[in-house]
Amino acid sequence: MRALVIGWASLRHGEATPVDVLGMRRVDAALSLAEVPHDLAWEADYDTVDPARYSHVVFVSGPVKGRQVREVHRRFAHCHRIAVGVSVADPGEEAVTGFDQVLARDHQGIATPDLSIDAPTDEVLVAGLILAPEDTAVRSSVTRWLAGIDCARVPLDPGLAPSDWARCATPDQFASILSHMDVVVTTRLDGLVMGLRAGVPVLAVDPVVGGGTLTAQADALGWPALVPAEEAGQTENLDSWWRWCSSVQGRAVAALRALPTDNGLIRDMVKAFKAGPIR
């Protein structure tokens, strides 16, 4: 006996959600505890699975419907097929009736807690991403690098828009969001300044070859985690500053930058009012 655990995270274009994946993890843990030999198949390897190796198939979470689920029945016709933690909209649909057992999370007004509710997860860093919208080589390098970082990515638009529910209406709202980030990655001055004033380490990447406003502001603030545009494609450099920003040292230095400062521009402006001619 050997079982194959699958779900929408296994199927091509399945568009799996966190609930689907956590449900598969929960079933994996339960079968391991029960000492049932089994494998998990994700989208990357599902198509290469040999059906002959398995006596059982367990389909986990999500709706039971459609062509992709019907294909599971065809491909694993010799297996005992179980659906668990799934939603059933139409009990008579072939995708549903093809299972030998259906243990639904909700069916005909009766519901049980979803499998994901007590599945363990690992805590990862939350990274606020404040990137210039222009499709440049620097932006491409940064986003390509970010795709390989194990973190919770939160794209943020610093443009204030009181009439747009999806964006912040005030700087206070934006600052409140940033205060909950662990790290900020940015190619914009707004990301550097707002991140540091919140006491959050900022990995800044200047999009201007030779250095622009971002480099000048990092220098003014005494902030070291700046990558020049010319080095944006060097992943080892980005990795190094990411590790520093997520370290105790990086957080401590960022906390110091959040302290109030005596801004020379304000002093000079006030002097201009006092010294200038009255008209």
Q: Is the dihedral of CA 67, 73, 76, 80 positive or negative?
A: positive
Dist CA 183 CA 198 (whole Å): 11
What integer best gives the mean pLDDT of the chain? 94
Q: Are 116 and 23 in contact (CB under 8 A)?
A: yes
Type of residue found at 208: V
Rounded to 5 degrees, what angle do the CA atoms 30, 32, 36 make? 100
Domains assigned to the chain: 3-118 (3.40.50.10490), 125-264 (3.40.50.2000)
CA–CA separation, 234 vs 14, rounded Å? Answer: 34
pLDDT at 232 over 90: yes
What does the DSSP assignment read for 174-187?
HHHHHTT-SEEEES
Residues 86-101: pLDDT tens digits?
999 899 999 999 999 9
| Predicted model pTM | 0.85
Q: For residue 278, what pLDDT is reported?
A: 60
pLDDT for residue 257: 86
Q: Does 162 or 264 have the greater pLDDT score?
A: 162
Q: How confident is the model at residue 263 (pLDDT cuts 50, 70, 90)?
A: confident
